[in-house]
Amino acid sequence: MTARESAAADNAERASEEALATLFAALDSRRNFKLEAGAGAGKTYSLIQALRRILKNKSVYLPRSDQRVACLTYTKVARDEIKARTDEDPAIFADTLHGFLWEMISPYQKALATALRSSETWQERLAENSDISGLAIEYDLGIRGLHEDRITLHHNDIPEFAIQLFGNEKFRSLITDRFPVIFIDEYQDTPSGLAEAVLSGHGEDRTSPVVGFFGDHWQQIYDRTCGSIEHSSLTSIPKNANFRSDRSVVDFLNKLRPELPQAPRADADEGTVTVYHSNTWPGARLGRNWKGQISQEATQACLEWLQVASPSSTWIQNSKDLKVLMLTHATIANELGYPSLPGVFSSNDSFANKEDPVIEFLVDTAEPAMQAFSEHKYGELFRLLGSKRPTLTAPKDKHRWSEFFNSLISTSSTGTIGDVLDLLNSQNLFSVPTRVVKRGRDLEEALLSLGPGEELEEPRKLVEHRSLRSVPYAEIRALRSYLEDSTVFSTKHSVKGAEFDDVIVLVGRGWTKYDFAKMIAAHAPQSKPELRQAGSFPHSRNLFYVSASRAKHNLALLFVQELSDDAVAVLEDWAGQENVISIEFDEAGVLL
């Protein structure tokens, strides 16, 4: 019996109805529940239907007019979608997890002060000034700080302190009184310990809220989140549906995850899943974080062959909605024209996350300003550079602006990031952010303090800034193009929740926490059980599942790390032997 035949229902529509009926029964009997909805299952639909059921029966679920159902989301986008799909009914308190938690804990300033004093992350700050009595504790920008008149909390402080307050029965009672029903969306991404804290009083307190969790622990791909939730009070409800993908993709996912089989839509097409591997490549494979992977040049050649000459090339070339997923920005960088940037920063993704103030300024301000000038959008230009419109009273004023931006654009086309920064710092038409100016001055001072023959080795941020200055500025332009999603390339982490008609997944190394080849080999019947206990197994499995499940119609998996015989056999079982293709090379490593 195939995974498709063993699904609880023969199509997604029927499976969805069955899950919803079980969910409603749990609500009606005041039982906590966990809706386990795999990729494409229609989790948000079930959440909205549950909210609408409560709205239709307010007197049952919300007996007092001042009571509301809380719906906690992972992102502001999800929050706004829920509000829109429930007509912003005042009986629903929809907010991000942090927004809701702060709403709950902010009135209890003394309890927050106690939690703050016991927090390890605050010990260093409080060592200098331990007397915080009378200071207001605030949460706005998410920046941790101890000021003369107030204390400002970091984003990570909010769930930590909330967990402590949920340990108090009186606090839990006050929450229940305001919110008899609490729904938590994307439960797997909530901070570790929070779900257990919310459920801590069930079975012991006089009254407790009905708590419903919506999510999928196989889609936990972020650190410091809870993943799976187990609690004696929870009714587990599987949703065995996939409204997103065609049948071949659903079959592949069911082989990977037989414990939550999904049924495709009744009108789903067949689709395709094809696996390509590079085991026969004769060259010396990479080491360290890239251990077992073919060279970057060979990787690029395989990706190009896949798109123009492979059995999948027809649908790839004809696709109007194609996404190429890669593990790291280092691999994407080689494809998109910013190969030097990943090597500058010790953290692989820090530059792409714009954690560096210089990268942030160049990508978000300088580059858009040059584009606005080129397109004669002067209002946009001045908005980007500051809130006040500059005084342009004479032709010479306009000439100064034009002369500077023409020079800046010319320099950005041929020069380095350092050349552009020097030009920006030399003008007085607008202000460059203090953090950017300070980074440059600190580097200058550090270099001047070096003795003969000495090299700058610390601090890390100045070492990175020195390297950054020598990178061609064209790489900033390429990075911005990627960040604005104007390319077909993405990292696997960045597309969680998204879907595309057709998907190519480049499967290789790059981070030590992921080893997809070992994860797949661990699924072989003869594999050792401890392989599934390895730390890299759940990380690799979840990210592989998230990546493969983005495809609606066609999926191609390109393995550029070496696969064991066990791994190849597992892939042949999952995709079909005829759909696992070995890429052929000559003795020099050139594609045949």
User: Residue 1 has what pLDDT?
Assistant: 36
What is the token pair recorded at 66?
Answer: 């001042």
Q: Would the pTM count as exceeding 0.95?
A: no
312 exposure class (CB count in 10 Å sphere: 0-12, 13-18, 19+)? buried
Could you give the C-alpha distances from 384 to 89, 388, 393, 431, in angstroms and in order? 37, 10, 21, 11
User: Residue 154 has what pLDDT?
Assistant: 87
> Which residues 6+ apart lie within 8 Å of 334 measured at CB?
296, 299, 300
Q: What CA–CA distance (Å, rounded) separates 582 from 71?
A: 48
Could you give the C-alpha distances from 480 to 365, 416, 483, in angstroms and in order? 11, 16, 5
SS3 content of the chain, % helix, strand, coil (to 5): 50, 15, 35
Tens digit of pLDDT at every position of the chain (592 positions): 344 444 457 899 999 999 999 999 999 999 999 999 999 999 999 999 999 999 999 999 999 999 999 999 988 888 999 999 999 999 999 999 999 999 999 999 999 999 999 999 898 878 777 788 889 999 976 778 888 888 989 888 999 999 999 999 999 999 999 999 999 999 999 999 999 999 998 888 788 999 999 999 999 988 788 889 999 999 999 999 999 999 999 999 999 999 999 999 999 999 999 999 999 999 999 988 889 999 988 998 999 999 999 999 999 999 999 999 987 666 667 767 888 888 898 765 678 778 889 999 999 999 999 999 999 998 889 888 875 555 566 778 788 999 999 999 999 999 999 999 999 999 989 989 988 999 999 999 989 988 888 888 888 899 999 999 999 999 999 989 888 765 666 766 666 678 999 999 999 987 788 899 999 999 999 998 888 888 889 999 999 999 999 999 999 999 999 999 999 999 999 999 999 999 999 988 888 7
Q: Does domain 12-103+173-241 have CATH number 3.20.170.30?
A: no
573, 252 contact by CB (below 8 A): no
> Which residues 6+ apart lie within 8 Å of 336 measured at CB?
478, 479, 481, 482, 487, 489
250 exposure class (CB count in 10 Å sphere: 0-12, 13-18, 19+)? buried
User: Residue 392 has what pLDDT?
Assistant: 61
- Is there a shared CATH topology between the 12-103+173-241 domain and the 249-328+492-582 domain? yes
User: Residue 190 has what pLDDT?
Assistant: 92
381, 370 contact by CB (below 8 A): no
User: Residue 571 has what pLDDT?
Assistant: 98
Domain spans of the chain?
Answer: 12-103+173-241, 249-328+492-582, 348-483
Q: Which CATH number fits domain 249-328+492-582: 3.30.1640, 3.40.1350, 3.40.50, 3.40.1710?
A: 3.40.50
Q: Bridge-partner residues for 367, per DSSP?
A: none
Q: What CA–CA distance (Å, rounded) separates 314 from 307?
A: 8
User: Residue 494 has what pLDDT?
Assistant: 62
User: Residue 349 has what pLDDT?
Assistant: 65
Q: What CA–CA distance (Å, rounded) separates 92 from 51?
A: 8
User: Residue 182 has what pLDDT?
Assistant: 97
User: Residue 283 has what pLDDT?
Assistant: 94
> Which residues 6+ apart lie within 8 Å of 322 measured at CB?
316, 488, 500, 501, 502, 503, 504
137, 130 contact by CB (below 8 A): no
Q: What CA–CA distance (Å, rounded) separates 362 from 348?
A: 19
Distance of CA 462 to the CA centre of its chain: 28
